[in-house]
Amino acid sequence: MVQRYTSLSLTSLLPIVWGPAKIQMEQPTRTQAQRSALSDSRLVNAAIRLIVERGTEKTTLRALGETAGYSRGLVTYRFGSKTGLFKAVIKSVSERWLTQMQASVEDRTGLDAILATTSGYFEFVMRSPEDIRAMRILFHQASEPGSGLDDIVNKVHALQREQVARWVADGQAAGNIASHINAESFAVRFVGCIEGLTFFWMIEHEGIDWRQVHDDMLAQVRRELTSAAGD
């Protein structure tokens, strides 16, 4: 079965008012691919809301269909199972984060790319809190035996670590990251720190000065990656 989990931005055509008469422009007919992409996007967004509001246990395919306004048959056809649905959510949120990261990093490499990614992630958390909450809930569930989510979560983390490690290597080649830094070790600690901070944000959102945390993390990353060995 081929599954598509893509987002589509559609602009509605509004009625045109000309004098006393209102002329309604005809809505262009969507292609099958466009209709599928739109329903996928609506289903994933509805699933994110259900996960955040009700938890994974009560996020059923039936509840998703009712919330999004689609039949259970369509939901089952698209995702197959709750595990398939949860994987689609993880994939969708990961793609949204990738878009944010690319916008933040632009053509930067090395140390500048890592610092830009750090700021970009804080911005993404604050701008898309439901996405982040749903993702962390599913990441936590992945640690449970038989969840069926460990493979996709491991893949997401592996890709994140590989990207950070490449930036460290690029920075070392360019001379703006200290040569003694172990790229793989730093990448593990960097991704782990982001995960831990996100957990604190979910639990203690109101009690922490996140702007200060952001600034201190930037300073810490810069200090670690540029300090001479033994400092």
Query: So what's the pLDDT on residue 8?
Result: 39
- 28's torsion region: left (phi>0), alpha (psi -120 to 50) or beta? beta
Query: What range does the domain containing 44 cover?
Result: 31-80
pTM reported for the whole predicted model:
0.80
Q: How far is CA 150 from CA 2, 91, 154, 158, 214, in A?
A: 22, 13, 6, 12, 29
| In-domain check, residue 61 | yes
> How many domains would you assign to the chain?
2
Are 122 and 207 in the same domain? yes
Query: So what's the pLDDT on residue 15?
Result: 37
The confidence band for 2, taking pLDDT boundaries of 50, 70 and 90, is very low
pLDDT tens digits along 11-20? 333 333 333 4
CATH number at residue 129: 1.10.357.10
What does the mean pLDDT of the chain come to? 86
Q: Which range among 52-61, 137-146, 204-213 shows the weakest confidence by mean pLDDT?
A: 204-213
Are 63 and 98 in the same domain? no
Are 122 and 223 in the same domain? yes
Q: Which range among 78-92, 138-152, 203-217 shows the weakest confidence by mean pLDDT?
A: 203-217
Q: Which range among 12-16, 55-59, 113-117, 180-184 shows the weakest confidence by mean pLDDT?
A: 12-16
Are 71 and 156 in the same domain? no
Query: So what's the pLDDT on residue 19?
Result: 38
- Final residue in a domain of this structure, among 23, 50, 80: 80
- Final residue in a domain of this structure, among 80, 107, 140: 80
- The answer on pLDDT for 142 being more than 80 is yes
- Final residue in a domain of this structure, among 21, 50, 80: 80
pLDDT tens digits along 25-81? 555 677 877 777 788 889 999 999 999 999 999 999 999 999 999 888 999 999 999
Are 95 and 194 in the same domain? yes
- The answer on pLDDT for 21 being more than 50 is no
Are 103 and 189 in the same domain? yes
Are 37 and 93 in the same domain? no
CATH number at residue 74: 1.10.10
Are 72 and 93 in the same domain? no
| In-domain check, residue 203 | yes
